[in-house]
A and B are shown apart, each in its own frame.
Chain A
């Protein structure tokens, strides 16, 4: 149980375009999902916390207008990188917490974004 999927797994886009990444909890309802960014050989950097039906809470230094997060249902959160630039190239990972408590997080497989 507690499986989280992400789509797409890899995406290459041109500078200036927008890219949407989906995160789905497949077998449970996730009231809270998290979006992370991970650089090579580095730790996970929390970008934002996404709560179903409300606005996402962004971490300090993360541009809200650039990284749009929508948590429209209990099983789906989306991250849209708007007007992407090469420096946005990274590995984006989502995770979801089970509703019974903010305990362990289940991570999706990640999305490798490359902006050319």
Chain B
């Protein structure tokens, strides 16, 4: 079945260092979404990318969607302790009668002050 693989599973960085998580799909995606889940919390929507090669920025966060719409990345510049949490990508696969959002395994980010 369709899978969305996310790497790395864990990332420990020093505050101020950059961080990147990668998401790869076995199937072409109609769009990809990114979520952040703080420890003990629920996922919160960050952004959605739809177009091939799309790049979007939110302050220190940069999101990219690959040309083939099969991969995506989230890059955080100069991490802060508030960035701690697990980042999930979720790719939307369209079927004849609808679509399904498939979540990656998530990348848990810890930031050492």
Q: A108 vs B43: C-alpha distance in the bound complex, in angstroms?
A: 8
A46 within 8 A of B: yes
B63 within 8 A of A: no
Using C-beta atoms within 8 Å of the partner chain, give the interface range for chain A: 20 to 34
Q: A44 vs B100: C-alpha distance in the bound complex, in angstroms?
A: 13
User: Which residue on B lies nearest to A104, using beta carbons?
Assistant: B45
Task: Give the dominant DSSP class at B's interface.
Answer: strand
Given contacts A43-B88, A44-B88, contact A106 B45 (CB under 8 A): yes
Q: Write the A81-116 contact mask toward B (1 if CB under 8 angstroms, else 0).
A: 000000000000101000000111111111000000
Using C-beta atoms within 8 Å of the partner chain, give the interface range for chain B: 20 to 34
> CB distance B45 to A44 under 8 Å?
no
Q: A43 vs B9: C-alpha distance in the bound complex, in angstroms?
A: 11
Q: A103 vs B45: C-alpha distance in the bound complex, in angstroms?
A: 10
- B residues apposed to A, CB below 8 Å: 1, 31, 33, 35, 41-45, 48, 88, 92, 98-106, 108
A and B contact pairs by CB, cutoff 8 A, 11 listed = A43-B103, A43-B106, A44-B103, A45-B103, A60-B1, A93-B43, A103-B33, A103-B48, A105-B33, A107-B35, A107-B42
- A residues apposed to B, CB below 8 Å: 34, 41-46, 49, 57, 60, 93, 95, 102-110
